Amino acid sequence: MKRTFLIFTLLMGLSVLSSVAYAVERLVVADSPTLLTGLVSIAMQKGYFAEQGLEVEIKDYKTGDDATRAMFDGTADIATVAETAFVFDSFREKDFSLFATIGSWDNEVKIVARTDRNINSIADLHGKIVGTHPKISVHYFLSQALLKYGLTMRDITPVFKKAGELPTALEAGEIDAFSLREPFIGDAILRLKGRVKVFEEPGLYWKSFSLVARNKTLTARTDALQRFLRGLNRAEILVREQPGVAAAILAARLNSTQEKIAADLGQVKLRLGLEQRLIYVLENVATWALDENLLTAKTMPNYLHLINTEALRKVKPNSVTIIK
């Protein structure tokens, strides 16, 4: 009896210790809700951040560029951003770093065209009015898709609007097509009652979403950021081991169907990492931006200097393959 009571007491003591192991810290995350930032949504919904002693607030923004603006002005501690917006920030901001990639996909961005504008392939965009959100991944994808079919941005009439405005513009007939991602593609399909064609180019552009923070945050809040990454790692395991549960969470988050999200999760890589491939993509995007005269700068940054591997090496060392 005494032995049983002693074991019970020890177990209760361990339980109490585990519950007070972390001092609660608050982190504000500026998120651009997309399937590629799904680990953040899952970790939040499942309470994985709270388990790490974090009080996390997620603020939603339409694009990664908007999210990073919030991070730079101090509204958020962390931002989720695609590599294109990160590249443009790298030419105008110095006091920040990318510290983990959380999702990647080679078929996220697509081109949507009206069925009444005689567009049967991407090659038919020649001479058409095509919308996109400027200087982010959807702009880069449009440029690369045109090149694949022997065209350039000068062969179309580009219209640059915020992503949320483009489905309305397509419905109104102001543009013939646009280059975007979900949920804007689905919005256009609903608005035009299916009278659209969606063109995919899997493999053309391997897009990724990453986490960025100011360097002072990375230095001063190392412990909190490692806890945050541990919460995301739990979410990654859930995606791998219980994809149905993950699909249900993300369908609710993205206002989609569980069936569609489940199908997309078969292609998407929701995982923590810092792969050497990221440097190659960043340099390609920077070269494109310079060639298209989208920047006043003429010299490409050294992206190895804008990537901080320390936090992720502590949490998931085998996922870091970047050589510094």
List alpha helices for 192-297, DSSP H.
215-220, 222-241, 243-254, 258-265, 277-291
| pLDDT confidence band for 35 (50 / 70 / 90) | very high
Query: What is the pLDDT at residue 19?
Result: 42
For β-strands 196-199 and 54-60, DSSP reports them as unpaired
Helix (H) or strand (E) holding 294: none
Helix, coil or strand: residue 97: strand
**Could you give the CA distance from residue 236 to residue 43 in angstroms, rounded to a whole number?**
9
Region 269-273: what's the mean pLDDT? 96
All structural domains of the chain with their residue ranges: 23-105+207-319, 110-199
Q: What is the number of other CB atoms lying within 10 angstroms of the CB of residue 72?
A: 18
The CATH architecture one would assign to domain 23-105+207-319 is 3-Layer(aba) Sandwich (3.40)
Under 8 Å CB-to-CB from 12, ≥6 apart: which residues?
none
DSSP run (H or E) holding 195: none
Model confidence pLDDT, tens digit, residues 72-86: 999 999 999 999 999
| pLDDT tens-digit readout, 39-83 | 999 999 999 999 999 999 999 998 888 999 999 999 999 999 999
Q: Do domains 23-105+207-319 and 110-199 have the same CATH topology?
A: yes
313 vs 65, residue with greater confidence? 313
Query: In whole angstroms, what is the distance from residue 213 CA to residue 79 CA?
Result: 7
DSSP 280: H
Query: Is residue 239 predicted with pLDDT exceeding 60?
Result: yes
pLDDT, residue 163, reads: 92
Q: According to DSSP H, which parts of the chain are helical?
A: 2-19, 38-46, 48-51, 64-72, 83-92, 137-148, 166-172, 184-191, 215-220, 222-241, 243-254, 258-265, 277-291, 310-315
CATH class of 110-199: alpha beta
Grade residue 21 by pLDDT with cuts at 50, 70 and 90: low
Would you say 200 and 110 are in contact if contact means Cβ atoms under 8 Å apart?
yes
C-alpha angle 187-188-189 in degrees, rounded to nearest 5: 90
Q: Mean pLDDT throughout 312-319?
A: 97
With beta carbons less than 8 A apart as the criterion, state whether 34 and 181 touch.
yes
97-123 pLDDT, tens digit per residue, is 999 999 999 999 999 999 999 999 999
Asked if the model's pLDDT at residue 2 lies above 70, the reply is no
Q: How far is CA 51 from CA 55, 177, 218, 274, in A?
A: 10, 45, 21, 24
Question: CA-CA distance, 195 to 116, in Å (whole number)?
Answer: 8
Comparing 23-32, 117-126, 227-236, the range with the smallest average pLDDT is: 23-32
The pLDDT > 90 percentage for the chain reads: 85
